Structure 1
């Protein structure tokens, strides 16, 4: 599995001012609706429900919110770069500015886990995160994410 399998260019966005984690979840859901046709209201509810089980802020300014959705046919992702980091209740208590949200069908099983592992593994790379943070153009961010894999594979 690669980023190209789960991410569309139109599912990448830079947000200048997000006031809270809850507002960010709404922004993620709206972007997912625009890019993939997923119902925003259902998506917000699923994200908040998953978040109530434990925060998905994994540390070093990165969050990986994710949810399973009944009407989805494949695993898809949304990438958001925040110009101003926000409190996300991350494991290291650091504010978050790099967010990759994943959505999977309810019965996705191993595909959901593969996607989560892919995103987690790549966003643990400090140099990749530094490149992402240095660019505020969605097209460039998409290219950085999708080209990272081909460089690593070589």
Structure 2
């Protein structure tokens, strides 16, 4: 599975505000629930349970919260750029301003997308372009390009 198979311009939210990690997880759960037609509480529970295993903040201001949610029929992807960075308990203790949500119907099915996304977001040029993009379509085109960064 590739990012281009699960992303659309509607999968991008720019300049969202959130005071905390918990509040952000609740907000993205609600966005996903609306798009998927399932309960936000189910998504939020899956995400918070995953975060209890260790933060999905991968460093350099990026977090990739992900979890299996059985009610999800097919993989769901959402990228959020925060207006102000927040503490996400990331591995490098840096505040997070780019959050990529990935929900899948079964455990393990997200691994290819996570690996591709992590490779793409290791590129300082891609990350800076996401941070400076003025439209959701701009972020979409950066991430939907399945070529290596």
Counterparts of residues 68-79 of structure 1 (less than 5 Å)? 68-79=68-79
The question of whether the paired residues in 2 share the 8 Å contact of 1:11 and 1:32 is answered with no
Match of 1:94 in 2: 94
Counterpart contact for 1:135–1:141, Cα < 8 Å: yes
Q: Check the 8 A contact 1:85/1:96 in 2, yes or no.
A: yes
* Cα distance change of structure 1 residues 31 and 11 upon mapping to structure 2, 3 Å threshold: farther
* Residue 117 (structure 2) aligns with: 119
Aligned to 1:17: 17
CA contact (8 A) 2:14 2:136 kept: yes
**Cα distance between partner residues in 1 of 2:78 and 2:38:** 12
Structure 1 residue 49: deviation in Å?
0.8
Q: Could you say which residue in structure 1 is the equivalent of 2:39?
A: 39
> TM-score, structure 1 length as denominator?
0.88
Using the alignment, how far apart are the partners of 1:114 and 1:17 within structure 2?
A: 29
C-alpha displacement of 1:46: 0.7
* Aligned length, in residue pairs: 149
Give ranges in structure 2 of 5+ residues lacking alignment: none
**Distance in structure 2 (CA, Å) of the matches to 1:78 and 1:145:** 11
1:8, CA displacement in angstroms? Answer: 2.6
**Secondary structure at the counterpart of residue 131 of structure 1:** helix
- Runs of 4+, deviation exceeding 3 Å: none
Equivalent residue number for residue 142 of structure 1: 140
Q: Indicate if the aligned counterparts of 1:84 and 1:97 stay in contact, CA closer than 8 A.
A: yes
Query: Secondary structure of 1:145's match?
Result: helix
TM-score (norm 2): 0.91
- C-alpha RMSD of the superposition: 1.6
User: Contact 2:36–2:72 (CA<8 Å) still a contact in 1?
Assistant: no
Structure 1 residue runs of 5 or longer lacking an equivalent are none
CA deviation profile, 1:24-46 (whole Å, cap 9, x unmatched): 10121122123333421110111
Aligned to 1:58: 58
In structure 1, the residue corresponding to 2:81 is in which secondary structure? strand
